[in-house]
Amino acid sequence: MNSCSTLWPLMVGLRQQFPPSKTLDLDQVVQNALGTVVPPLKPRARVAVAVGSRGIANLQTIVRAAVRALEAAGARPFILPAMGSHGGGTSEGQVGLLADYGITESALGVPIHPSMEVQSVGSVIPGFELCVSREAMSADGVLLINRIKPHTDFAGTIGSGLLKMLVVGLGKRAGAARFHAAACRLGYERVLRAQSRALLETVPVIGGLAILEDQRHQTARIEAIRPSDIESREPLLCAESRALMPGLPFDDIDLRSEEHTSELQSRITLSYS
């Protein structure tokens, strides 16, 4: 047994304490945020509120607040499932997933349009057709609502968020399949940036609500973003989200010597006491 193993056991139990995020008046936060970015809407404009299939804290409250803000602006909002092929890739399955999060017609007082039909908007990646929801394209405006966080399967400056919802979520089953095929060949971020840029010029997006969650998976912050700023803001918000995630209080671990091991133990004691 070497000197390191005598000082450092194979398993160590740690407990990290995080301060809770401040309590937010979500209705007021969403109303104020949307008021700064959503352009004036024509009377009775049909606005698709894009909602995904992720377990986001306070999702029903946030979506309801967005719906009420749009109604106050004179629009006619409806819920558009934006979850790619989730829910079995069927309208019924996606409505069921939304219901699990409290997103129902009766709860929000607006219709849900779950059609899986898509239309082609060309190809920005040779050999891979770019598809988007027909419901989104026929609406007067689209509001994207999603949590920003690093992706569990891909590393990069962007992960899950508004851009992914635009490309994969609103791509429905057909668009999601084409995106993942292209990403596997050419890289996640490269394809996502190229396709989302094209869709931001094509889909009538009026803005996005970016949600950040803390280490306890509670709403830490909500930011509304103009369509022209989504691509530049999302990497910054993704980095902010990454910083909110739990993690060890150092970048590197070196157990090669007794000196490094003793230093590591000291740092853990100081950080986790």
Work out the pLDDT band at 151, boundaries 50, 70, 90: confident
The answer to whether the beta carbons of residues 172 and 253 sit under 8 Å apart is: no
- The mean-pLDDT minimum among 67-76, 122-131, 236-245, 250-259 falls in 250-259
What per-residue confidence (pLDDT) applies to 236?
Answer: 96
Average pLDDT, the chain: 89
| Cα 97 to Cα 204: distance, rounded to the nearest angstrom | 25
**pLDDT of 11 higher than 90:** no
What per-residue confidence (pLDDT) applies to 14?
Answer: 72
Work out the pLDDT band at 23, boundaries 50, 70, 90: confident
**pLDDT of 271 higher than 50:** no
In degrees to the nearest 10, what's the CA dihedral of 162, 166, 169, 175? -150
pLDDT digits (tens, 9 = 90+) for 41-97: 999 999 999 999 989 999 999 999 999 999 999 999 999 999 999 999 999 999 999
Token readout for 231 is 């691509």
The answer to whether the beta carbons of residues 245 and 214 sit under 8 Å apart is: no
Question: In degrees rounded to 5, what are phi and psi of residue 213?
Answer: -115, 150
What per-residue confidence (pLDDT) applies to 255?
Answer: 55
Work out the pLDDT band at 272, boundaries 50, 70, 90: very low
What per-residue confidence (pLDDT) applies to 246?
Answer: 78
- The mean-pLDDT minimum among 6-10, 133-137, 213-217, 253-257 falls in 253-257
The answer to whether the beta carbons of residues 145 and 63 sit under 8 Å apart is: yes
- The mean-pLDDT minimum among 173-177, 238-242, 254-258 falls in 254-258
- The mean-pLDDT minimum among 6-20, 182-196, 241-255, 259-273 falls in 259-273
**pLDDT of 247 higher than 70:** yes
**Pairing between strand 205-213 and 141-147?**
parallel
What per-residue confidence (pLDDT) applies to 251?
Answer: 72
Q: What percent of the chain is predicted at pLDDT more than 90?
A: 71
What per-residue confidence (pLDDT) applies to 8?
Answer: 59
Q: Could you tell me which of 132, 156, 177 has the C-alpha nearest to residue 238?
A: 156
Work out the pLDDT band at 261, boundaries 50, 70, 90: low
**Pairing between strand 46-51 and 141-147?**
parallel
Identify the bridge partners of residue 170 per DSSP, sorted by sequence position: none
pLDDT digits (tens, 9 = 90+) for 136-147: 999 999 999 999
Q: Cβ contacts of residue 232 below 8 Å, gap of 6+?
A: none
